[in-house]
Copies of this chain bind each other. A is one copy, B any other.
Amino acid sequence: MTSHGDAPLGVFDSGLGGLTVVRALRRRCPAEDIVYLGDTARVPYGTRSPETVVRYALGCARVLIGRGVKAIVVACNTVSAVAIDMLRVELDLPVLGVILPGARAAVAASRGATIGVLGTAGTIASGAYPRAVASLSTRTEVAGQAAPLLVSLAEEGWLEGEVPRLVARRYLEPLIGAGARSIVLGCTHFPLLRAAIEAETASLAGGPLPIVDSASATAEEVASFLAERGLATSRSTPGGLSLLVTDLPKSFATVAARFLGEPVVADGAVRSSTQAGAAVRSPTQVGGDAAGRSSPFSAQGVDVEQIDL
């Protein structure tokens, strides 16, 4: 029997962008086991209505609960923006999002000046960043800008050159024009385009401005939360990572590795279960299964399993 603290952390996102949060978590809390669910069959959530996002998010959270997680990290700005209150009402375990940590880091970095936020259409339309900032500092203004093409560029791995810079510039112009003196990467995809965003921000603002990465800020808050609640793992060996996806397109391994910063082998290590929850196993189990396929925390690195949702 594993103790409650030794249960894995559940992390989910609409797709693979949330792996930038997993990357930060694995750096900050290296002993924690992590089960990540990427809803790759229904990505992106950022352009969908709030009702649809809530419905999809509840489905994802229930899969993770079926895997015995001790807490859920919503590694998606859109879900954190529009569905986190509903998740907290519906679910009987701690739910942490990325908006409040990002807002807290931005307030600290901006020192009272306006904060600029780049996000998906859904995140910006929700007003979640202005609300979070207002709860932390009454004098700080927030300017938001939906930046959907930055998501596409990150997914395609088109991270350098004239196009990412021109696209970033177009989205940054209204923010700098509104007086922003710090920029929040309010979508888990954007850390990949940090170089282009940083350069264009500096060019538009006449000098470098703080760039706030909500992934790192979230990993900090998760670590503090687990310590305070006595929920941190008692193990000191490196934690495992299990990756659940609802679709496995050809480019999966490349895109996942780009976001995670670790190699991901999609063939051989892939397991497919036709019913969500049909393959629930102890997340600390090690070794191959009867069919000779690799375990969820295989020696090769990251285990990948496809599920239906």
Q: Footprint of B on A, CB under 8 Å? A: 40-43, 47-49, 52, 121-122, 125, 148-149, 151-153, 155-156, 158, 162-163, 166-167, 170, 247-251
Contact = CB atoms under 8 A, between A and B. Distances in A.
Q: For the complex, would chain A's binding face be called helix, strand, loop or mixed by DSSP majority?
A: helix
Given A41-B42, A166-B162, A166-B163, A52 B247 contact: yes
A249 B158 contact: no
Contacts of A248: 49
Nearest to A42: B42
A163 B156 contact: no
Nearest to A246: B52
Q: List the number of copies, as a whole number.
A: 2
Across the A-B interface, the 5 shortest Cβ-Cβ residue pairs:
A152-B152, A52-B247, A48-B247, A49-B249, A163-B166
Given A48-B249, A49-B247, A121-B251, 15 more contacts: A41-B42, A43-B47, A47-B155, A47-B251, A48-B247, A49-B249, A49-B250, A52-B247, A122-B249, A148-B152, A149-B149, A149-B152, A149-B156, A149-B158, A163-B167
Nearest to A149: B152
Contacts of A247: 48-49, 52
